[in-house]
Structure 1
Amino acid sequence: MPDDSPLIQSLRTAVDAAPADVPLRLHLAELLLNDGRPDAAVTEVAVALQHAPGDAQARELMVRAMGVPQQTAPGAPEPAAESPVEKRKGFDWQAAEDQVGDVVPPRFVETPLAAADGTGTGNGNGNGNGNGTVRLADVGGMQDVKDRLEAAFLAPLRNPELRRLYGKSLRGGLLLYGPPGCGKTFIARAVAGELGASFLSVSVNDVLDMWIGNSERNMHQVFETARRNAPCVIFLDELDALGAKRSRTLHNGMRNTVNQLLTELDGIDAEANEGVFVLAATNVPWDVDIALRRPGRLDRTLLVLPPDAPAREAILRYHLRDRPIENVDLGRLAKATDGLSGADLAHVCEAAAERALLDSARSGTVRMIGMKDLLTVAKDVVPSSEPWFASARNVAMFANEGGMYDDLVAYLKKKRKL
């Protein structure tokens, strides 16, 4: 193997320092190709294609490095020189991918379940279909949650004649609760997408103010904005902060804020909140003021649990989509990560990438992220939901008045945690 020129040596150093810099790596590959070293160029282009599978320049360089002849029309003279655009015309990319299959390994062992069965690829941390509008189809798995949402909100909206027949109003509220990091916010956005409604996310920082009366005014303004833009979904994040139990609140300002929220949920008259849907989320529903959960307010609850197997596949696929991976068996990985939240799964992918990066830096050779990295990390991750279930177990056992937490009790019994 010929010695590297000073320029190639400098580029190799730069690529080692920034392995994800695709243009820099392709520049190195082109220099190697021009230096009569196609095998070395193929190696560099293969890594670039892992970072950017659709990059036109990388594909063109791979064709040149592999020495694939350009297809021309029968009887046409061979052109003296061809531009990259001319080389790409009519090229059989499938044949080229077959030829370089040993150089560029498959990213996944098989078609992921979540993609194959149409359950979607959303993860609770992204934008689902990529056009900015999230739908329930973008939520992987979690069919029970989808069915409950369909019954609570979506079916009445899609069937106006039945709605009028049964006197069903388009107002209502639903409280999502469960351990942190399991996609409650993402599900709320998906509901807004299904309704074709505006989405107004409200946190404690948007409402609470140090000056007397401003918090109540801010809460009123939120609902007025939603009424003007109906149909609109108001998403109250961290409801335990906005609607904490007044019996435990010493500050008058907080009690007044809860009172204002109750007033807005009821509406000035029967038609005030028509077309305004209120979704709320909390990790600790037992700290929410009981008045907020009375009929006509947030009277329906929905337990959002750690993702099931199809949802875990979708989340893992999402977080591995732009990383250099090879031979990843998503089905096996989903089984190994049972009980992990969406946030935990994101951490698994991040930590596996870190392992591969450190190995590459120490050895001087770039390597892909494989199943060994992912399984090793997953084995060491303690589910972040465990502390939540420890607290929820006590509530399910001793404070389940009126069957409020029957779903939680059923889940704990199923998992033999109760």
Structure 2
Amino acid sequence: MRPAEEDPLLASLLAAVAAAAGDIPLRLHVAGLLLDRGRAAEALEHCSTVLRSDPANEEAIALLRRASAELGAARPGSRVAADRPSADPAMVGRSGFDWDAAEAQVQDLPEVGRVDDGLPDPVGEGDVDGLVFTDLSLADVAGNPDAKERIERAIAPIRNPALARAFGKRTTGGLLLYGPPGCGKAFVARAIAGELQANFYRVGRADLLDRPAPTAELLASNPAAERRMHAVFATARRSAPCVLFLDDVDGIGPKRSRLQNPSTLRAVVNQLLFELDSLNRADSGVFVLASTTRPWDLDPALRRAGRLDRMVLVAPPDAVARTAILRFQLRDRMIADFDLTEVAEAAAGYSAADLRRVVESAADSALSDSLRRGQARPIEAADLVAAIKRVRPSVGTWLDLARAAAGPSDGSYEDLHLYLRTHRRR
């Protein structure tokens, strides 16, 4: 039996490469898998294919060096020997790559990774815009004890790697936060970074694609997106310990089965998968968080082991959280003395964003009344209750969609099904 036939996954990937010969991230991903399986000669061929069209591709060069070394071509102290494939007669004529011509083509180019193409430099200064350190913790996330307990279980192996290994638990893999919009997924992500005492690196769809905000047409003409993805992960590694937060990940990791072929976005998904897998090969010090409002639209490969394989529902805030949110939104405003818990009870099912609108509406009413009276009066409980009646909760539509999209047989949505059973749409 041929090796590829013994490995169905690799056989499928090789078939995919044959069908999409120009898909460079996929070809490099396959080259890495071949190296992991001891098939360096085949990996070298794929690297050579990439270098014919992109002689400065740093990932291809790195893989080629590794393949060459495994084939016994590298000589200690000789950089050239490590850069070139073996002159083994068995390899002659198979790749057809002219190394002398390639060197002549690139000898006047700037150092790889320093090309002035407007892309983030994965190793240079200035490539960490958005990287912050936060002193938040899960204690700052009011209410929602079930979600916090799930998060604690998910990050426990990261906090205690030796203990995790003793019990056979993985210290790799990522966490997907999902739920209706406006319920604080980004805030929870920052709190997780604080718990892990790690840098927080928030990256969204617009950071990976050319500005302005991309459209489908722009995606089709955006060949730089894969390199931006690589630069983001390189920055996260360099900034370790780091929590890399992929905000609205469904925008960069949709189901490839729904994409037209060819599609640049398909290559972006492939690159994301490659980068996630690369974190599992060594202790990188990077923990990947992602958020989405539509987890059922993510490419299934993103949910496999070692990637975003754990999910936590960030549901609309409970009564304790609503009270805390209202108190925060009312800070620095003139308010009367009243019990916020009663107002919070009246706002059951409202998201954090909805509650902000409620407070703004109540403040407008109090201000208008003050102008009519000619005398300032504080915001009262009645203003907030009236605003709750005017501002309808925004999460109902999402709950209906979630109920239809997350089938009852899918164990991934256990916390969602529990929430749907105990909360009816308002």
Question: Do the structures match in fold with TM over 0.5?
Answer: yes
Amino acid at match of 2:235: T
Relative to structure 1, is the Cα distance of residues 324 and 293 closer, same or farther in structure 2, using a 3 angstrom cutoff? same
Contact kept in structure 2, 1:170 and 1:276, CA below 8 Å:
no
Larger radius of gyration: 1
Query: Which of residues 401, 413, 418 in structure 2 aligns to 1:405?
Result: 413
TM-score, normalisation: structure 1 = 0.65
Alignment-derived partner of residue 180 in structure 1: 181
Contact kept in structure 1, 2:246 and 2:290, CA below 8 Å:
yes
Measure the CA separation in 2 of the matches of 1:331 and 1:268: 45
1:322-355 alpha-carbon deviations (Å, 9 max, x no partner): 1000122111011111100000111111111110
Question: Is 1:139–2:121 an aligned residue pair?
Answer: no
Measure the CA separation in 2 of the matches of 1:132 and 1:266: 27
SS at match of 1:279: strand
Relative to structure 1, is the Cα distance of residues 256 and 341 closer, same or farther in structure 2, using a 3 angstrom cutoff? same
Contact kept in structure 2, 1:139 and 1:187, CA below 8 Å:
yes
Higher relative contact order (CA 8 A, sep 6+): 1
- Percent identity of equivalent pairs: 54
The Cα of 1:381 is off from its aligned counterpart by: 2.0
Amino acid at match of 2:166: L
Alignment-derived partner of residue 259 in structure 1: 270
Pairing of 1:9-408 with structure 2 (within 5 A) = 133-153=135-155, 155-209=156-210, 210=218, 211-250=221-260, 252-267=263-278, 270-271=281-282, 274-396=284-406, 399-408=407-416
Amino acid at match of 1:170: T
1:221-260 alpha-carbon deviations (Å, 9 max, x no partner): 1111111111111111111111011111125100000000
Measure the CA separation in 2 of the matches of 1:402 and 1:314: 33
SS at match of 1:392: helix
The Cα of 1:138 is off from its aligned counterpart by: 0.9
Contact kept in structure 1, 2:280 and 2:306, CA below 8 Å:
no
**Gaps (5+ residues) in structure 1?**
1-130
Amino acid at match of 1:357: L
Amino acid at match of 1:199: F
**Gaps (5+ residues) in structure 2?**
1-132, 211-217
Contact kept in structure 1, 2:200 and 2:243, CA below 8 Å:
yes
Measure the CA separation in 1 of the matches of 2:424 and 2:368: 39
The Cα of 1:268 is off from its aligned counterpart by: 6.9
Contact kept in structure 1, 2:209 and 2:222, CA below 8 Å:
no
1:109-138 alpha-carbon deviations (Å, 9 max, x no partner): xxxxxxxxxxxxxxxxxxxxxx95211111
Moved over 6 A (4+): none
Relative to structure 1, is the Cα distance of residues 231 and 142 closer, same or farther in structure 2, using a 3 angstrom cutoff? same
Amino acid at match of 1:264: E
1:159-187 alpha-carbon deviations (Å, 9 max, x no partner): 34312312444322011111000000000
The Cα of 1:144 is off from its aligned counterpart by: 1.0
The Cα of 1:416 is off from its aligned counterpart by: 4.5
SS at match of 1:244: coil
Measure the CA separation in 2 of the matches of 1:401 and 1:349: 40
1:29-80 alpha-carbon deviations (Å, 9 max, x no partner): xxxxxxxxxxxxxxxxxxxxxxxxxxxxxxxxxxxxxxxxxxxxxxxxxxxx
- Aligned-pair RMSD on alpha carbons? 1.7
Contact kept in structure 1, 2:178 and 2:293, CA below 8 Å:
yes
Amino acid at match of 2:135: T
Amino acid at match of 1:179: P
Contact kept in structure 1, 2:179 and 2:292, CA below 8 Å:
yes
TM-score, normalisation: structure 2 = 0.64
Measure the CA separation in 1 of the matches of 2:207 and 2:335: 41
The Cα of 1:269 is off from its aligned counterpart by: 6.3
Measure the CA separation in 2 of the matches of 1:350 and 1:335: 18
SS at match of 1:230: coil
SS at match of 2:174: strand
Alignment-derived partner of residue 54 in structure 2: none
Measure the CA separation in 2 of the matches of 1:237 and 1:268: 19
Contact kept in structure 1, 2:204 and 2:246, CA below 8 Å:
yes
SS at match of 1:405: helix
The Cα of 1:375 is off from its aligned counterpart by: 0.8
SS at match of 1:233: strand
Amino acid at match of 1:312: R
Amino acid at match of 1:177: Y
Contact kept in structure 2, 1:170 and 1:275, CA below 8 Å:
no
Measure the CA separation in 2 of the matches of 1:362 and 1:268: 62
The Cα of 1:365 is off from its aligned counterpart by: 0.7
Contact kept in structure 2, 1:174 and 1:301, CA below 8 Å:
yes
Relative to structure 1, is the Cα distance of residues 334 and 416 closer, same or farther in structure 2, using a 3 angstrom cutoff? closer
Measure the CA separation in 1 of the matches of 2:313 and 2:134: 26
SS at match of 2:289: strand
The Cα of 1:139 is off from its aligned counterpart by: 0.8
Relative to structure 1, is the Cα distance of residues 403 and 168 closer, same or farther in structure 2, using a 3 angstrom cutoff? closer
Amino acid at match of 1:202: V
Amino acid at match of 1:283: T
Measure the CA separation in 2 of the matches of 1:288 and 1:177: 11
